Structure 1
Amino acid sequence: MNLSLRQMRAFAALASMRNFTRAAEHCCITQSAFSALILNLERDLNAKLFSRNTRNVELTAEGEVFLNIVNHLMPETERALSEMQDHVSRRKGRVAIAALPTIFSALLPDIIATFINKYPGIELIVEDVSNTSCLELVRLRKVDFALCASAEPGADLIIEKLASDTFYFVCQSTHPLANRKRLAIIELLPHPIIVFETASSIRQHLDASVYPKQWIKVLQVNNLATAAGLVGAGIGPTIVPLLGLCQFDLNILRAIPVTLPINERDICLLRRKDATESIAAQEFIRLLRARLAREVSLLASRHPGS
């Protein structure tokens, strides 16, 4: 049989009020429709639940048993339906996101703030990780989607370009190239720079841009904050994407646009092909598609020459 919440509510109302007219009014339906509900329920159960006469409505022994069942089942059913309605209306839910640290720090704070303000009941989980880890977390279903640099995702993943950024040479004002308005790759290669570890999306993009040549290394570091400290201390210059400039004190350092053979770094949305995102995740993705490219353009407008 298919027991509906409507039938349970009608049964509970009649068991409580012992009157068809009042129970029908309580359920906001006509008495004939209410009587049909009870009759169909008894037929489906193959049991008489109420003893009726012209004056009284009483529960039968089977009705007493069913009342105990309904008293346990109905609150759980109502709770489950309410929970589902909360998810569908985006009052509750969970969105897990992986992204490159540069994307998180430079682009996502305002987007996340907008999302949280609109959907305060939805839990956000963030993973600021490397490009390789972004792919792995999506592939293992640890996150709903990732924001990363362009990659070869494989047959099981979908990659969608949302925006792109370009690169800057960051140095002290005393560096020989500090007064240039824009730099070409041939001008940069003779100068030692601070590079990033080989798994970094920044390093991979820069290495691919000069292959088969190589950069002259001052030091190799793992993250932008370290590079910023070293450049600030005069250890050497570095090359970073637009999204990484917020780590550097540009009041005392110079950031000069660079023209590379592969000039733009794509910023992409990465998802599983076989995944159906939750309504909450779909809403966050909609916000990314609407806002991400605009956020990059706004950031670029603060750095003339980009």
Structure 2
Amino acid sequence: MTPSIKNLQYLVALKKTNHFSNAAKECFVSASTFSAGISKLENDLQVKLVERDNKNVRFTSAGNRITKQAMSVLAEMNVLVSTSNLDFFESEITIGVIPTISTYILPNFLSNLTHSHPKLKVSFKEDTSENLVKHLDQAKIDFAIFAFPYELPDFIESFQVFADPIYFIQHKNRKSKVIDNGSLLMLEQGHCLRSHILQNNEISTKHISNFSCTSISTLVAMVDTNIGVSFLPRMAIDFGILSHYPNINIDLESTKAKRDIGVIYRKNNPQEENIKKLAALLNTD
């Protein structure tokens, strides 16, 4: 049976005082309660920890080893308690983020974080939407910066911050805005931007090119060669991704597709309100 923290504390106190009555006083319990706790610990661990008579207390070799380990366990428990009492904005957190957002939103987000919460230590984990949901389930991240709509499992809560319109782009030599069959360049399967583009009810699978791209940068480069057409989220355009591509035109009237930007986190998270405060710093407007 797993020993209790209380009985481990009794053992460490006994090692410190080498006296049952004094150790009991230090733990603010009666001598009989203290003695019973040590006996219970020995029973749980199935090992003799101390040899006692009317005058002396002798720790066995196993008792010495276990007392040393108990001190380490109690020290870690103190760290755990201290961590739980630590102000959220002075702690260390890990934030997940999808690749189609990270490049364009993190610089401004980090600047806002540093200004608003200078004592908060943040690390980022970039991954697909599907994997970030798994990381939340496994408590590997505290929350994730996400794009919606996305079908989330029941244990996940979402908070949306702002809308990110998605605009049609094409090479300037291509005059028609009609999407030919097989001409629509998309990110490969697994990127939620792909499904967000398909929200436009004028697009069907027959329009999608046989070529797929691993990143938005690659997608833009392919449009620049006039291989096909595509769509870009406003945050990528505002970031300047097209600054080196003067031959690409943006149709600012094509606003039939969009995505919403926000965060996801586990339901009943005690830091929900603090997570929402950080999420508000995502807004670049």
In structure 2, the residue matched to 1:295 is: 282
2:14 counterpart residue number: 11
Amino acid at match of 2:259: R
Structure 2, unaligned stretches of length 5 or more?
40-49
- 1:202–1:240: 8 Å Cα contact kept in structure 2? no
2:142 is aligned with 1:161? no
3-state SS of 2:252 partner: strand
Distance 1:170 1:105 in 2: 19
Correspondence for 2:215? 223
CA distance 1:232–1:118, change in 2 (3 Å)? farther
Contact kept, 8 Å, 1:193 with 1:238, in 2: the verdict is yes
Could you tell me which runs of 5 or more consecutive residues in structure 1 were left unpaired when the two chains were aligned: 25-31, 52-58, 178-186, 299-306
Equivalent of residue 201 in structure 1, options 192, 201, 223: 192
Cα offset, 1:44, TM superposition: 4.6
Task: Write the mapping of 1:123-272 to structure 2, written as runs, cut at 5 A.
Answer: 124=123, 126-129=125-128, 131-135=129-133, 138=136, 145-146=143-144, 147-155=146-154, 157-171=156-170, 174-175=172-173, 188-189=177-178, 194-197=185-188, 199-211=190-202, 215=207, 220-245=212-237, 246=239, 248-250=241-243, 252-253=245-246, 254-261=249-256, 263-271=257-265
CA contact (8 A) 1:95 1:125 kept: yes
Counterpart residue number, 1:56: none
Deviation at 1:209, TM superposition (A): 0.9
Asked if residue 105 in structure 1 is aligned to residue 99 in structure 2, the reply is no
Where does residue 46 of structure 2 map in the other structure?
none
Matches within 5 A, 1:59-74: 60=56, 63-65=57-59, 68=64, 71-74=67-70
- Structure 2 counterpart of 1:85, one-letter code: V
Aligned-pair CA distance for 1:150? 1.2
CA 1:168–1:76: 2 relative to 1, 3 Å: same
Counterpart of 2:241, as a letter, is F
2:124 and 2:100 map into 1 onto residues whose CA distance is: 17
Q: Deviations over 1:244-268 (max 9, x none)?
A: 333723255354424433x431224
Query: Match of 1:264, SS?
Result: strand
Shift of residue 84 of structure 1? 0.9
CA spacing shift, 1:169–1:204, aligned 2, 3 Å = same
Q: Deviations over 1:198-255 (max 9, x none)?
A: 5543332222313465647595433211112223445455321123333723255354
Aligned residues of 1:167 and 1:258 also touching (Cα < 8 A): no
Which secondary structure state, in structure 2, belongs to the residue aligned with residue 167 of structure 1? strand
Q: State which structure, 1 or 2, has the greater radius of gyration over its C-alpha atoms.
A: 1
* Alpha-carbon distance between aligned partners in 2 of 1:101 and 1:230, rounded to the nearest angstrom: 19
Contact 1:224 1:247 in 2 (8 A): no
For normalisation by structure 2, the TM-score amounts to 0.63
Is the Cα–Cα contact under 8 Å of residues 161 and 261 in structure 2 kept in the other structure?
A: yes
2:130 and 2:220 map into 1 onto residues whose CA distance is 23
8 Å Cα contact 2:161-2:262 kept in structure 1:
yes
Counterpart CA distance in 1 for 2:196 and 2:100 is 14
Q: Distance in 2 between matches of 1:127 and 1:260?
A: 28
Q: Using a 3 Å threshold, how does the CA distance of structure 1 residues 68 and 139 change in structure 2: closer, same or farther? A: closer
Alignment of 1:77-92 (within 5 A): 77-88=73-84, 89=86
Q: Distance in 2 between matches of 1:35 and 1:270?
A: 44
Q: Which amino acid aligns with 2:230?
A: T
After superposition, the Cα gap between the structure-2 partners of 1:136 and 1:166, relative to the gap in structure 1 and judged at 3 Å, is: same
User: Quick one: structure 1 residues 106 and 292, their matched pair in 2 at CA, closer, same or farther if it must change by over 3 Å?
Assistant: farther
Q: Give me the identity figure in percent.
A: 15
Q: C-alpha separation between the residues in 2 aligned to 1:193 and 1:242?
A: 18
**TM-score with structure 1 setting the length:** 0.60
Assess if the C-alpha contact under 8 Å between 1:164 and 1:296 holds in 2: no
Is the 1:11–1:38 Cα contact (8 Å) retained in structure 2?
A: no
